[in-house]
Amino acid sequence: MQPQSHRFKQNVSVALQDVQLQKALERVQEGFVDKRAAVVSTLPEFEQLREQGKAIRNHVLDNLDFYLQRFESQVQARGGQVHWAENAQQARDIVRDICKRVGAKMVIKGKSMISEEIALNDALEADGLDVVESDLGEYILQLAQEPPSHIIAPAIHKTKAQISELFYHAHQKLGYTRKLDTVPDLVNEAREVLRSRYLEADVGITGANFLVAETGSNIIVTNEGNGDLSCTLPRVHIVTASIDKVVPTLDDASALLRLLARSATGQEITSYTTFSSGPKRAGDPDGPDEYHVVLLDNGRTEMLAGAFRDMLRCIRCGACMNHCPVYGVIGGHSYGWVYPGPMGSVLTPNFLGLDEAGDLANACTMNGHCASVCPVKIPLPDLLREHRRRQFERKLQPRFARFALAAWATIVRRPRHYQPLMSMGIRILNRLGRGKGRFKSLPMLGAWTQTRDLPAPQTQTFQSLWKKQRGDER
Amino acid sequence: MNKARIGLFVTCLVDLYRPSVAFAAIKLLEDAGYQVEVPEAQTCCGQPAFNSGDFGNTREIARQVIDAFADFDYVVGASGSCIGTIRAHYPDLFENDPAWLAKARDLSAKTYELTSFLTDIASIDTVESSFRGEVTYHDSCSGLRELGVKQQPRKLLDSIDGVSVNEMQHSETCCGFGGTFCVKFPEISTRLASDKVDNICDSRAPVLLGGDLGCLLNISGRLQRLDKPVRVFHVAEVLADMADGAAIGEGED
Amino acid sequence: MSARERILNRVRAVTADKNGDDPARRIAEPPRLIRPDLGDDLVQRFGEKLTLGGGSLARVQDLQQAVVEIELFIRDAELALSLRAAPALKGLPWGDALEVSFGPSAGDDLVSVTPAFCAIAETGSVVLLSGEHSPTTLNFLPDVHIVVVESNQLVRHFEDAWIKLRESGEIPRTVNIITGPSKTADVEQTLQIGAHGPRKLHVIWIDR
Ligand code: SF4
């Protein structure tokens, strides 16, 4: 998708006024936050598991070359193929070539953020392929021609009425002419429509929640079972995954799975956790004839080498956005690209650069809620601050902000000048505001006073009062 | 017996906006048996520079704070976010400077947020105050998540006869202040402040307390713009029985 | 140089001097990781967690009763008494009441019956392996999925399932850990059973 992160502020204004969106966002609290809290409270080992999760992911990053090669050799030993892509273009080409070679006409897809990151659907459709998303949320968005607004619940911003409208228009040609108004009816209709598509598809493309080096397996975690159908029924199964997805063993994967569902949806485990290792074996009555894994770098090796290495621990659970007060009122589309919320604000500037996505790094109050729930303890606020450090170094912040900061710092660094200066300023402000106790507007502070009164200073500065009091006592 | 010496970290907002908070802190600490001093060579913890990515100036300001407070047994301040900066972030700033790293760690280890110092270190569990009525409490983010301040202020408030805390919904959700965030993204900030105001009003308590002046200025500003009659104090003012004057943003008229 | 080489070289450049655990060793002998405490009654825990995920459980004494229970369950669901079973279950005393065929599903079977490799007490899950005698399509295409589990197949944690799996030799093409029926909350966060896969998951537990 065309990045819209540079329009962040405009996007925010639109989102805050969008009544439907605001209604939808209210559901994040009940649907995710409360459920997570409830399930975490029943597992006394949860904090230890987070610490362990962090350690496992760090160990992988420290030995990434080993585990990637081990994964590759295990996939090959089981008759699968591993393809390496340095960037989105290469990844798209690999998938397109496979589809072309096997004469594919139709592709069914499980949910994959990597597929979004490399804009795979557009490329396949340009080749004349029929591409169908099978995750219900992704399917809704495909009909709406919108990007996901959440990494776990991609269509969380859509209301039932909007979905009903989309289905009504899209399914009419298939003979479904009733407008539906209940959730069961909507889900059933999608089930029926998509069922035939699974059976027709030549190629199934899924993401990977983890790749297991021990066995060469890819793991997908779903509640719907769509990913499983996508990797069982078509002749060819292609996995699109980034290089950071690998974990050492089945045991390590289990340790992380204990964190994933709880952090993501507040479940102890999802309905389906599926390990696929290679194409179907001799004698297998079902399963794909070909199995491919596309391993994508796309800037991750650069992150591995630098200050954003911790971000590569991410297991894409979405807890950070569910708990982010900013995400909670602006929604995922405001962020303007594939990854929203705190993890997106760290990732997007890494992928698209600070010129495109610099606002994201600043749109955070540093409240720390995200880091406090992250299952692998990524210090998200610190990483956002690292982006700000780079912006400051490259002088990317608005000139006025830089000037104000420099002026402020000059004074703050000189206490002997600071105190008389502040004392004078505060006396004046106090005199101006004492009557009402607050200001309705102040020059240069419109950003505050447009929507908030600004309390007036109480009296003089504490330091001058204190000095006086000490003097009197003496 | 020699009393332990505390250096009061005033914080820039208390210095400029609400000296009564610092006086309240001094009273509480002295009542707890400590000798309190206020080093003159302090201005701000450097957070605005830090969160703007200006690490150079932050480091200079940090050195200033480290020097000013080097000689005290403890450093205490009535703000979760300033104390959080000193405790949680100063050491990171000097990762590559062993001499200063050691000093930053020293400071970090002896620096406390006021209510947490009173309960966790000074083992105070009751305070005397003539304040009466129902209050609700906003948990400021840095105090809560960087320092684990949650039960401490409540415990002290509970010890005052006739004060009860009506918990609001989502007391741990950010009020939208966020330092410079509130003027960089005023729309988002205002929306978060409005949500906070709704929760405060729903609690039906006539008074809002908190431990961080930045948040309190933001919330009281929004409350007043929306004509809500809720009065806002720093928790230290109530605990020290110094909340009989004008609340934040209240005038003489 | 290929993309593979370039990626691996970049990785190597920043992982060159590592200390800490030896990765080859970790794979050869996976270290014991934290396992949640499960209490003592594993069968009860299995049932509770299975139900929490939306599945159901019936406990029987032998294979004969298992077949009776299958029939009852299908009747309760008001479906025709016909099912598709995994070839591995050919030996069950099927009797005459049920119309049983064996093999993978092509999408028009309403009921499937499969064996399991093991059951996990921690999460109330059943683990199914693909293979000549247990087609994966049976786990996903039918509306009702019935799984026959024997009590000696119960393990405590995921990790115990992996120990069993490693002992059994080669990992099969597909390992399915199944915990409850297919569901979705993609429409307004409202939980709805039966998204793409089975609407019912029923475990028949044979006490041995
Ligand atoms: S950053 Fe942490 S909380 Fe956010 S998606 Fe990744 S793992 Fe989950």
Residue where the block lists tokens 């060793």: C25
Residue B55 CA to residue A390 CA, distance in Å, equals 10
Verify that A293 and A229 share a domain, yes or no. Answer: yes
Residue B245 resides in a domain? no
Torsion angle of alpha carbons A166, A171, A172, A176, nearest 10°?
-120
| B226 backbone dihedrals φ, ψ, rounded to 5° | -90, 10
Please give the pLDDT value at position C208. Answer: 83
> Which of A397, A425, A456 finishes a domain?
A397
Query: What percent of chain A is predicted at pLDDT more than 90?
Result: 92
Q: Is A262 in the pocket of ligand 1 (CB under 6 A)?
A: no
- DSSP symbol at C153: G
DSSP A335: G
End-of-domain residue from the set B93, B121, B149: B121
B250 Cβ contact list (under 8 Å, min separation 6): A437, A438, B231
Distance CA B237, CA B124 (A): 16
Q: Which helix (H) or strand (E) holds B202?
A: helix B186-203
pLDDT digits 0-9 by tens, A309-331: 999 999 999 999 999 999 999 99
A338 with A440, same domain: the answer is no
pLDDT of residue B252 exceeding 90:
no
Same structural domain, B206 and B146: yes
Task: Measure the CA dihedral A170/A173/A179/A184, to 10°.
Answer: -70
A72 in the same domain as A122: yes
Check whether residue B14 and residue B99 sit in a common domain: yes
Q: Which two tokens stand for residue A373?
A: 């729930």
**Nearest residue (CA) to ligand 1, atom 4:** A320
Residue B253 has pLDDT above 70, yes or no: no
If you search the block for the tokens 């965030």, which residue do you land on?
B181
At position A361, the amino acid (one-letter code) is A
Final residue of a structural domain among A378, A397, A416: A397
In the predicted model, is pLDDT for residue B185 greater than 80?
Answer: yes
Residues A92 and A203 in one domain: yes
* B55–A contact, CB cutoff 8 A: yes
Asked if residue B103 is part of any domain, the answer here is yes
Name residues 77-96 of chain B within 8 A of A (Cβ): 92
Q: Determine, yes or no, domain membership for B249.
A: no
Q: How confident is the model at residue A166 (pLDDT cuts 50, 70, 90)?
A: very high
Phi-psi region of C60 (alpha: psi -120 to 50; beta: other; left: phi over 0): beta
Residues B24 and B70 in one domain: yes
Residues A289 and A379 in one domain: no
Domain check: are B176 and B137 in the same one? yes
Separation of alpha carbons A76 and C151, rounded Å: 36
What was the pLDDT predicted at C17?
64
Please report whether residue A379 resides in a domain: yes
Are residue B112 and residue B163 in the same domain, yes or no?
Answer: no
Q: What percent of chain A has pLDDT over 70?
A: 100
- Domain total for chain B? 2
CA distance B132 to chain A (A): 23
Q: How many Cα atoms occupy the beta-carbon half-sphere of A282 within 13 Å?
A: 1
Interatomic CA distance for residues C34 and A58, integer angstroms: 17
Angle, helix A341-352 to helix A354-362, in steps of 10 degrees: 160
A185 pLDDT more than 70: yes
Q: In what order do the strands lie in the sheet with C174-178?
A: A246-247, A210-212, A217-222, A272-276, C174-178, C125-129, C118-120, C154-155
Among residues B121, B146, B175, the one where a domain terminates is B121
Same domain, A283 and A377: no
Is the residue at B47 inside a domain? yes
pTM of this structure: 0.96
Is residue B30 within 8 angstroms of chain A, CB to CB? no
Distance CA A318, CA B202 (A): 30
Mutate to test the interface with B, among A11, A30, A367 (most CBs of B within 10 A): A367
Please provide the size of chain B in residues.
253
3-state secondary structure of A237: strand
Evaluate whether chains C and A are touching (3 or more beta carbon pairs less than 8 Å apart). Answer: yes
CA distance A210 to A220: 7
User: How high is the pLDDT of residue C18?
Assistant: 66
Count up the domains in chain A and report the number.
3
Q: Are residues B89 and B172 in the same domain?
A: no
- Domain of residue B158, residue span: 133-239
Instruction: Please report whether residue A146 resides in a domain.
Output: no
Q: What's the gap in Å between the CA of C199 and the closest CA on chain A?
A: 10
CB of A171 within 8 A of CB of A189? yes
CATH number of C38-206: 3.40.50.10420
Could you give the ipTM of this predicted complex?
Answer: 0.96
Distance, in Å, from the CA atom of C37 to the CA atom of A308, rounded to the nearest integer, reads 35
Report if residue B244 sits inside a domain.
no
Domain boundary (B80, B97, B121) is at B121
Q: Does A114 map to a domain?
A: yes
Which of A33, A81, A150, A271 is the best residue to mutate to test the C interface, defined by the most C CB atoms within 10 Å of its own CB? Answer: A271
Decide if A189 is inside a domain. Answer: no
Shared domain check, B161 and B75: no
Q: DSSP secondary-structure letter at A29?
A: I
Task: Identify whether A231 is part of a domain.
Answer: yes
pLDDT value of residue B59: 97
Do A133 and A224 fall into the same domain? Answer: yes
- Give yes or no: residues B23 and B110 share one domain: yes
Residue A186 falls within a domain, yes or no? no
Ranges in chain C annotated CATH 3.40.50.10420: 38-206
Q: What is the CATH number of the domain that holds B150?
A: 3.40.50.11810
The C-alpha atoms of residue A338 and residue A2 are separated, in whole angstroms, by 10
For the segment A190-219, what is each residue's pLDDT rounded down to a tens digit? 999 999 898 899 999 999 999 999 999 999
How far, in Å, CA of A190 to CA of B2, rounded? 77
* Among C112, C109, C107, C143, residue whose Cα is nearest residue C128: C112
User: For A454-462, what is the mean pLDDT?
Assistant: 92
- Please give the C-alpha separations between residue C56 and each of A10, A169, C52, C118, C203, in angstroms, as whole numbers: 50, 38, 9, 17, 6
Q: Average pLDDT across each block of 10 residues of chain C; the chain has 208 residues. List them in order.
A: 96 79 92 94 96 96 97 96 97 96 95 98 98 96 97 97 95 97 91 92 95
Whether A211 and A235 map to the same domain: the answer is yes
- Co-location of A99 and A238 in the same domain: yes
Q: Give the range of the structural domain holding residue A411, as residue numbers without chain letter.
A: 399-470
**Dihedral of the CA atoms B104, B110, B112, B118 (nearest 10)?**
-170
**How far apart (Å, rounded) are the C-alpha atoms in residues B153 and B6?**
20
Residue B204 has pLDDT above 90, yes or no: yes
A223 touches chain C (CB under 8 A): yes
Nearest-angstrom CA–CA distance, B181 and A362: 7
Cα angle: A39, vertex A42, A48; to 5 degrees: 95
Considering only CA atoms, which of A298, A341, A336, A335 is closest in space to residue A318?
A341
Residue B17 within any structural domain of the chain? yes
